[in-house]
Structure 1
């Protein structure tokens, strides 16, 4: 597993880099996790409905990027930890749903270190505290290889979430670690979350090859 700390990266080149990595990787290519932040951007998933970008969002000047992950619309911005997981699923004996569960559990475990009781919500991928969303997920699996990943709100400006229906849910409240008195910055939270991701990812089985279908997933 290779881990890359990329700092703040514009969304479009990060997406292109993920696609290029996935399209050109070989059976012996190491899996990678990228930790980064994005400048303000809205992203709309493959089956996303544009009406979930509300008039205030359209007037905000924040760019909207249509992308190939699952899920609806979400916001990325400074102060939000983004982790992209570029994983050969079959080589780690993982199914898509198992990877989604793994990412959710890694966030839940990370938040528990801060004394926060987070949970899943049936039918709505992501991580929640008392019904408010603090972590979002979105994946694409192509030829058995995943890309995209997760976003965890650390000290991000929450106002742009109010200008959309987050993940397609009208009135869904979004929250951040800062609201609970957590002073760690994105980099520090990233190291904690990374440890949980690495602990939960199954080891590589070198005898397996990826044959999974092309699948979007997330929210």
Structure 2
């Protein structure tokens, strides 16, 4: 991978990290939930979709590292305590969500059979976003909340899962719609940041 690929990769990693921070800042809490409603999962979906597996993960990792050293990256707050608080399971799951979405979406974006029908492409992308950008997050987030707050499983689900399912589905719809609308731009971005080149060498798939 040449120097130009590296520079473009770093720039877009930083841009999508900034997108995640901005979408974290857009938040409010429901009276029935401990976890704030944000657009974080949308940012995670888009980072994997646009940047691929490796760079998508790195964009989220950058935010978590900056948060750990004290910068106000998450809901305007920073510090290690944020990462190990009751929402920590959700935050760390974002790393793997972006990685998996980046890994799976790459071949889907290039699959001409799927793209013969934009409806089929949209449904396929929606399923990927919903499974790995939304439902997957709860596999880590809910148990960590139970551990951190001493909640029962039912209480943790009521506080940190059920209230968000409809909103998460809508964010998955939006992410899939963006993927369908901007497919040529996404493929070009993956090419020009070296994601496709690395994929062909077997170094990373995204």
Structure whose residues are more often helix by fraction: 2
**TM-score normalised over the length of structure 2:** 0.29
**TM-score normalised over the length of structure 1:** 0.28
